[in-house]
A and B are shown apart, each in its own frame.
Chain A
């Protein structure tokens, strides 16, 4: 069975702190893709990153970085020097095998306080 677990339901930090959002996935397929999406208070879903199962290189994009570890089936997301505008719900998701369906985690609500 395929599953995505985001164990942290809510996180609250003070601006400029670093914060890591955890994502653990389950799949028996050897080919799969992992995603992170951001949902700000306005409600839209914003694509952040896609990673395939054959590429374990970590990715950095500005203050955002992602750590993909197949050994622990994790795809964690770190925001460095958080800002109030980072306040949002963040979703981790998985597509595996030939199934085009996204399997979603339940999301982590991040509050960055001034």
Chain B
């Protein structure tokens, strides 16, 4: 079964404490992406990766880092989280112009 797996599902942390949200896909897709979803703002792209070792900024990359050392994994790193990064985060994977498959989301709260 095609899957995009994000962990954790829920995370509460404090300002400044580094965290990583993991994302793994089992479909061998080249393209992966991170989005955040906020009320009234919809889904906004943070970073994306066209392939291994190829990453690029999306619309709202500030305060985030990513890496793509292998095809299946695309972790999202918050070096110094702030309250304005409280959001619902989604990882997605896709091939060519096929539909993106999304993980189940990570609800992050930064206090």
List the interface of chain A (C-beta within 8 A of B): 33, 35, 37, 43-45, 47, 50, 52, 91, 95, 100-102, 104-107
Contact = CB atoms under 8 A, between A and B. Distances in A.
A8 B103 CA distance: 26
B111 to A, nearest CB: 21
A43 B88 contact: yes
Given A35-B99, A50-B98, A101 B48 contact: yes
Interface string B20-45: 00000000000101000000111101
Contacts of B31: 100
Contact of A102 (B88, B100, B103, B107): B100
Nearest to A52: B97
B100 A101 contact: no
A50 B98 CA distance: 8
Nearest to A35: B99
B58 interface: yes
B99 A50 contact: yes
Interface residues of B, number: 23
Interface of B: 31, 33, 40-43, 45, 48, 50, 58, 88, 90, 94, 97-105, 107
Instruction: Choose among B33, B42, B88, B107 the residue with the greatest number of A CB atoms under 10 Å from its CB.
Output: B42
Contact of A106 (B42, B58, B90, B97): B42
B44 to A, nearest CB: 8
Nearest to A33: B97
A24 B78 CA distance: 35
A101 B42 CA distance: 14
B33 to A, nearest CB: 8
Given A95-B97, A100-B31, A45 B90 contact: yes
B102 A44 contact: yes
A102 B97 contact: no
Nearest to B30: A100
A43 B43 CA distance: 13
